A and B are shown apart, each in its own frame.
Chain A
Amino acid sequence: MLLAVENLEVRYGTVPAVRDVSFHVETGEIVCFLGANGAGKSTTMLAVAGVLRPARGDIQFDSRSIVGLTPEQVAALGIGLVPEGRRIFGRLTVRENLVVASGLRGGMAAQKQTLDVIFNLFPILRERYDGRAGNLSGGEQQQLAIARALLTKPRLLIMDEPSLGLAPKFVDLVYETFAALRDSGVTLLLVEQSMRRALSLADRIYFLQSGQVVLHGRAAELAGRSDLEHLYLGGAAAR
């Protein structure tokens, strides 16, 4: 088991955003989190990445507890996060964004191969290499955000709503990338809004509602269930 989260509780002040979440990710899987806004998906991911400290529960990566580690220590262990809103460094150039991410594994010179893979996947990043990252379109920024995460050489790559606000052609590109990443041995944990995409891409799916897992299972099994839409939409309506 690559990632195992047990009874995770995360609070903002005294308000629990995640109450009691347990899930796991096996090596080589694509696991999807579905749920309405405010269900606790992003909070869970930030806790795994070491950005938020859990109030309770345990997070194990490679059978080792990573609770209490700093974000940079978590990154060094091999967990990459493309957070909600992409958070590219808009005042830096595309190159400089990549330089920052390359530092963890020896810098740009040592990462020649990964860079080639990245430019192959996202040729626009090569074209806009010395341009200001803030001037990229939303889809291009998403590509840069994923490229940055790849440079940290993650074994587990977490992506929080990678398709949010993207034009359809970029969504397709991003999802093709996921398939390619899985084939190259990266384990993926995705937060997704679109159930259709989640069902078609993921191996397993967790449904979150009000900070708790209300349903989980293999995508192939869930795809046939008629109450799924209701559950998902019900959660959205309840917020």
Chain B
Amino acid sequence: MNGIQLMVDALSLGSQYALVALGIGLVFGIMRMINFAHGDLMMLGAYALVVPTTADVAPPLIGKWPAVAMIVAITALVACAGILTERFAFRPLRHRQADGATLLISSFAVSYLLQSVVLLVHTGRPKSVSIFAELTRQMEIGGVRVALVDVVTIAVTALLLLAMVVFLRRVRWGVEIRAASEDFTMARILGVRADAVIALAFAIAGGLAGILSLLYVAKTGVLDFRMGVPLAVAGFVGTVVGGMGSLIGAVLGGLFLGVASSLLQALLPEALRPGRDAFLYSLVIVVLLVRPQGLFAPRDTGERT
């Protein structure tokens, strides 16, 4: 594989992981809870593209809508799903001052619940769906052919990250999310409504998962009720590697994981490739041994006198 191809490939996977890590990091920042159901929200978005059926072949539903309508619908749908999981699985626990472990278990429960519902409706057999067929083309960069869908994935991710930066810095709701991530109680003392800011974080995380589901399906064309799990794990590891509590860290951590994974896949000797993840996660362990606070942990804000 050529260098440019390899780079596009690596950045494309890294982009997917970065989007997952950002969604997980947004919620974690405020609630100090890893939402393992985040990957399953993405899975829900993907399945919403087709008609619910136990048949092996599912005709497209939202998947046959015009591009803009499809993007808006899936994003909104998954954002709503995110808000609903918060409203019914996490908020009641928060209001009873449940500890972090309880919330974590609840997120596992939501994850399995969503998977089981899809399993019931669609059966466990993977299904195929084709969206944005024009993205399956190859394009040329510097005389090298690369998959258009990968380039689009990278570009869309870059745009989303840029939009997030603007939102988190220039819009009051975004600034409130960052303040709540740094000191939740203090933000509330200043009048920031806990339920609203958390619902907003879930909505944005859900929206990101929705867009990711489109990018993912455009590339693979496959639906599987467990498709969100590896992404959630990658996103989670990405946030840890990047430094928990830092959104930039989460994004860079996710990117790092995806790039490292692709590079290992391409550069490992043929015989070792099936063990790629063993190498990848050994690398993760080494990173965490050297920098337990993560690669890009926030600088100390230390109280100064």
Q: Residues of A at under 8 Å CB distance from B? A: 49, 51, 70-72, 75-76, 81, 83, 85-87, 89-92, 96-97, 99-105, 107-108, 134, 136-138, 141, 148-149, 151-152, 165-166
- Among B176, B191, B302, contact of A134 (Cβ-Cβ < 8 Å): B302
User: Taking the nearest CB of chain B, how far is it from the CB of A67, in angstroms?
Assistant: 16
Q: Which residues of A contact B301 (CB under 8 A)?
A: 89-91, 134
Q: Which residues of A contact B190 (CB under 8 A)?
A: 75, 100-101, 103-104, 148-149, 151-152
- Among B169, B176, B182, B298, contact of A103 (Cβ-Cβ < 8 Å): B176
Q: Which residues of A contact B298 (CB under 8 A)?
A: 91
Query: Are A89's CB and B182's CB within 8 A?
Result: yes
Contacts of B240-299 to chain A: CB distance below 8 A: 298-299
Contact A99 to B172, CB < 8 A, known contacts A51-B189, A83-B189: yes
Q: Which residues of B contact A104 (CB under 8 A)?
A: 190-191
Can you identify 12 A-B contacts, CB atoms within 8 angstroms?
A70-B194, A71-B188, A75-B189, A87-B186, A89-B179, A90-B182, A91-B301, A96-B175, A101-B190, A101-B191, A138-B303, A166-B305
Query: Are A86's CB and B303's CB within 8 A?
Result: yes
Query: Are B179's CB and A71's CB within 8 A?
Result: no
Q: Which residues of A contact B192 (CB under 8 A)?
A: 72, 100, 103
Query: Are B189's CB and A49's CB within 8 A?
Result: yes
Q: Which residues of A contact B186 (CB under 8 A)?
A: 83, 87, 89
Q: Which residues of B contact A102 (CB under 8 A)?
A: 172
User: Taking the nearest CB of chain A, how far is it from the CB of B123, in angstroms?
Assistant: 45
Q: How far is the CA of A151 from the CA of B183 in the complex (A)?
A: 18
Query: Are A100's CB and B302's CB within 8 A?
Result: no
Contact A103 to B302, CB < 8 A, known contacts A87-B183, A96-B178: no
In the complex, per-residue mask of B192-219: 1 if CB is within 8 Å of any chain A CB, else 0: 1110000000000000000000000000
Query: Are B185's CB and A103's CB within 8 A?
Result: no
Q: Which residues of B contact A76 (CB under 8 A)?
A: 191
Q: Which residues of A contact B183 (CB under 8 A)?
A: 87, 89
> Would you call the interface of chain A mostly helix, strand, loop, or mixed?
helix
Contact A92 to B182, CB < 8 A, known contacts A134-B301, A141-B304: yes
- Among B175, B178, B189, B304, contact of A81 (Cβ-Cβ < 8 Å): B189
Q: How far is the CA of A70 from the CA of B188 in the complex (A)?
A: 8
Q: How many residues of B contact A (CB 8 A)?
A: 25
B187 sits at the interface (CB 8 A)? yes
Q: Which residues of A contact B305 (CB under 8 A)?
A: 138, 165-166
User: Taking the nearest CB of chain A, how far is it from the CB of B41, in angstroms?
Assistant: 27
Name the CB-closest residue of B to A145.
Answer: B186
- Among A75, A103, A136, contact of B304 (Cβ-Cβ < 8 Å): A136
Query: Are A85's CB and B178's CB within 8 A?
Result: no
Name the CB-closest residue of A to B171.
Answer: A99
Q: Which residues of B contact A105 (CB under 8 A)?
A: 191
Q: Which residues of A contact B185 (CB under 8 A)?
A: 51, 71
Query: Are A92's CB and B178's CB within 8 A?
Result: yes
Q: How far is the CA of A71 from the CA of B192 in the complex (A)?
A: 9
Q: Which residues of B contact A100 (CB under 8 A)?
A: 172, 175-176, 179, 187, 190, 192
Q: Which residues of B contact A152 (CB under 8 A)?
A: 190-191
- Among B175, B189, B194, B299, contact of A92 (Cβ-Cβ < 8 Å): B175
Q: Which residues of B contact A149 (CB under 8 A)?
A: 190
Q: How far is the CA of A83 from the CA of B178 in the complex (A)?
A: 19
- Which residue, of B182, B189, B192, B304, has the highest number of chain A Cβ atoms within 10 A? B189
Q: Which residues of B contact A51 (CB under 8 A)?
A: 185, 188-189
Known: A71-B188, A134-B302. 4 other contacts (CB 8 A): A51-B189, A87-B186, A89-B186, A100-B172
Name the CB-closest residue of B to A153.
Answer: B191
Q: How far is the CA of A96 from the CA of B179 in the complex (A)?
A: 8
Q: How far is the CA of A166 from the CA of B299 in the complex (A)?
A: 24
Q: Which residues of A contact B188 (CB under 8 A)?
A: 51, 70-72, 75
Query: Are B172's CB and A103's CB within 8 A?
Result: yes
Query: Are B179's CB and A85's CB within 8 A?
Result: no
Q: Which residues of A contact B182 (CB under 8 A)?
A: 89-92
Name the CB-closest residue of B to A152.
Answer: B191
Top 4 nearest A-B pairs (CB, nearest first) are: A90-B301, A104-B191, A138-B305, A165-B305
- Which residue, of A49, A51, A96, A100, has the highest number of chain B Cβ atoms within 10 A? A100
Contact A72 to B191, CB < 8 A, known contacts A87-B183, A90-B301: yes
- Which residue, of A89, A102, A107, has the highest number of chain B Cβ atoms within 10 A? A89
